[in-house]
Every structure is written in structure tokens, then in C-alpha cells.
Amino acid sequence: MSKPRIAILGLGIMGSGMARRLLSSGFHVVVFNRSWEKSLSLAKAGALVAESPKDAAARTDVILSMVADDNASRAVWLGENGALTGVSPGSILIESSTLSVVWVKELSALAGQHGCEFLDAPVTGTKPHAASGELFFMVGGSAAALEKVRSVLSVLGREVLHLGPVGSGALIKLINNFVCGVEAAAFAEAIALVDKSGLNREKCLAVLENSALASPLIKRIISSMKTNDYTPNFPLKLMTKDLGYAISESENAGATLKTAAPALEVFQHAAAEGLGDLDFSAVAKSFAQG
């Protein structure tokens, strides 16, 4: 069978890596990004550059969005010349952004009104995982729709897990990021305690790096601290957004995330310090600045 034609909407850290990965695997790829310059290197690699989301959707069978938040997702699907105005019945729409469950379900209903199938398929992983096809897809939607695009997602990810109906992927992604955010915020406060107590930071990092808490996330924060390199793989402002979404979803579910609100305050403080565009590991840097 011929490979489906794929549109990638959003060429940030993740979207650009995904588009390049698909191109290297021989897929016909159409890309769109609000900032034209982000499309140039992909055009040189063989991608077609669309003038609008509508244009991208009209040229393809599978439309995948990877943008920052609910507002950006609404704009790319529903805005002027949005993708939903260009889709053909039978197309499969994939939303891989980290979004609220409420919006994901609304978007799914709108896709159905256009005769399209919809999957919410956020991912775990960062920039290098997107480039190498090592993402982990958490998919909500029909199993039948997933099978139609499994060949696409399998190129992009090491694992494609079907979790259940629409919204399932979006919710577990927020749960995952909530836990990561709390862990990162707690570690940032721990380093502040090290510094204010007069302990030797380098030696304490050596202890913590070899203790039971040394998860991959903590090791990444420590590495950034040691090198003072906070080049964004996952921007701090997006972790801040995800903690807020997780709190809202817990309220909708009648649950209480008692540790999420303090963690959100820690990240909001870091964002207010001007660190929002740096990697989320810079949350520890905000305490050092303070």
C-alpha cells in the first residue's frame, strides 16, 4: 500500500523533528508553521510548505498537530483558514499536543462533523526522541482509526499504546507531566536548601545523583546545573501550562492534586523570573537567582 500523505502543523522543537523523521522515512510531508522561516530547512529536505493549515489539510490524508496549548490548537484547527476547513471526509486527524481533555473532546466532535476520524496522541520524549523516532505515543480514540495510522506513528515512536476512548491520551499525559513537575519543583527547593544551609553544592549533587531519587528527570536537571546549559528540550513555560491543565482536569474529575498547586507556584515564579523559554530544568536556576 502507498504511504499516506501527512501534514505536520507546528514546527517547534517536537514538530520539526517529527517532520524530518517522516521525510527521512520516505513519506510525503506537507508542513505549516506560523513563522515561515522554520519551514525553510524542511523545504530543503523535501517537505512541501503550505500557506495555511487549510492548505496543508487539503493536500494530505493524515493531519498531525503539535503546538503549545489549547489556544494554539484552536487557532490551527478552527482559525481563519484552519485545518478543519480544508480536510476531506475520511481523513484522520491526530492531535499530539499536550492539551486539556475538554478541548480534545470538543475537537473530536468537530472532526466527526467533517466526516473525519480523530485521535488524541500526545507523546513522552523530547527533541532527540522526536528526531530519532523514539517517542512514546499515548493514544485515545477508536482502535480502528489507530490501526490506519499505526505505520505513521510507528516511524515516529518506539511505542504506540492505545489507552481507550478520546481524551484518554490527553489525560494520562497531563498526569505524567503533573508528577514530573512536582518532582522538578521539589528538587529545585532541595537545592535552595543546600545553598542556604552552606553545604557544598557540588558534593551534594554527587550524593543526590547517586541516591534513590536519581530518576532520569533529576539526572537531567543535575546535568543542566553542572553545565549551566538550559537549552530547551521541553520549555519551562510549557510545564507551567501543563500543571495548570492538570489541576483543572482533577477538579473536573472530582479529585484533588494537593501537591500540584505548590509546584505550579514554583514554576510560575521561575517564569516570572524570565526563564519561561529555557528548559524546564531551569526551575532550579530560579532559586539560585533568588
Q: What is the DSSP string of 26-92?
A: T-EEEEE-SSGGGGHHHHHTT-EE-SSHHHHHHT-SEEEE--SSHHHHHHHHHSTT-GGGTPPTT-E
Domain-by-domain residue ranges, the chain? Answer: 5-165, 171-289
Domains 5-165 and 171-289 share a fold: no
* CATH number for the domain whose boundaries are 5-165: 3.40.50.720
- Residue ranges in the chain modelled with pLDDT below 70: 1, 288-290
- Choosing from 38, 148, 173, 285, the catalytic residue is 173
User: What pLDDT does 280 receive?
Assistant: 97
Q: Give the pLDDT score at 286.
A: 86
* Superfamily the domain 171-289 falls into: N-(1-d-carboxylethyl)-l-norvaline Dehydrogenase; domain 2 (1.10.1040.10)
Which pTM does this prediction carry? 0.96
Return the pLDDT at 2: 80
pLDDT of residue 25: 97
- State yes or no: is 285 an active-site residue: no
